[in-house]
A = this chain, B = another copy of it.
Amino acid sequence: MRRTVFFVSDGTGITAETLGHTLLTQFDQIEYRERTLPFVDTIEKADATVAYINETGRSDRCRPIVFCTLVNPACQAAVATSEALVVDFFNAFIGPLEEEFRRTSSHTKGRSHGMVNKATYYFRIDAINFALQHDDGASVQHYREADVILVGVSRSGKTPTCLYLAMQFGVRAANYPLNPDEDGSETLPEVLRPHRERLYGLTVNPERLQQIRSERRPGTRYASLGQCRREVEEVEVLFRKHALMYVNTDTMSVEEIAAQILHERQMERRLY
């Protein structure tokens, strides 16, 4: 017996997934498989979706769960007839909001942020380009325009964090690799010194760093536990000596690292 969880949306399905995952993480030991059904934007597609959900439930011999973000009332009503447990996001909350705003909602397909608004689009693209141009110390030319410059040893999570900061918040994030073996643990690389107030350190437990590096270059000195230990120890000395903010990313997702940096540094975001 295995349960199927559906995410049903008239758009990308990302909101339905976000909602569903947030709730499902509260139930550790439940096993299920996931199916996202995006772009369900006609009554015909809604009916087909219901048929598919019911069929799946019968062959699973287990009642499906449906996280639903449809805005069209006819489509909502169709999905509500399914044999699944339907968690209907709009139905639950749109009423109180309509009352508070003293308006009826548009009941038309929602737009995710990004390209909708021109200014928003440019902030996002600009921030992504900035992150790409200033990845891994590739260019240090526009560091004065950086909202933050992430520093840390190789494979400590700098690149994905910069890209996420750009994509989600429109923040201009550069990153620069620290190499304590070459630079010594006591001194900040010269290019970073004028930008001390922009720096933010990432660190990670040596055991985890070893795992990550071993995926990339197994059996090398670079991936050895001794080397990872030495490097981590030395950058942490450096972070403390220069009183940099830093975070150990060991048990954090990229989203969590990015949100924490934004929060701790009280950075102005350009995207909502």
The interface of chain A, by Cβ under 8 A from chain B, is: 11-15, 17-19, 21-30, 34, 38-39, 63, 65, 69, 71, 85, 87, 89-90, 92-94, 96-97, 100-101, 103, 105-108, 110-116, 118, 122, 124-125, 128-129, 132, 135, 157, 159-160, 163-164, 167-168, 211-212, 215, 249, 251-256, 258-260, 263, 272
Contact = CB atoms under 8 A, between A and B. Distances in A.
Contacts of A96: 85, 87
A260 B39 contact: yes
A112 B30 CA distance: 17
Nearest to A251: B115
Contact of A18 (B15, B25, B90, B129): B15
B87 A263 contact: no
Given A12-B259, A26-B71, 19 more contacts: A11-B256, A11-B259, A14-B18, A15-B22, A18-B19, A21-B113, A24-B97, A26-B90, A26-B107, A30-B103, A39-B263, A112-B256, A113-B255, A114-B253, A115-B251, A116-B251, A163-B163, A163-B167, A167-B254
Nearest to A122: B215
A255 B26 contact: no
Q: How many copies does the complex hold?
A: 2
A18 to B, nearest CB: 5
B215 A255 contact: no
Contacts of A160: 124-125, 128, 167
A14 B259 contact: yes
Contacts of A211: 118
Nearest to A127: B160
B65 A100 contact: yes
17 contacts: A13-B259, A14-B18, A19-B89, A19-B93, A26-B110, A27-B97, A27-B101, A30-B103, A34-B272, A38-B263, A63-B100, A85-B96, A92-B93, A114-B256, A115-B253, A132-B159, A164-B167
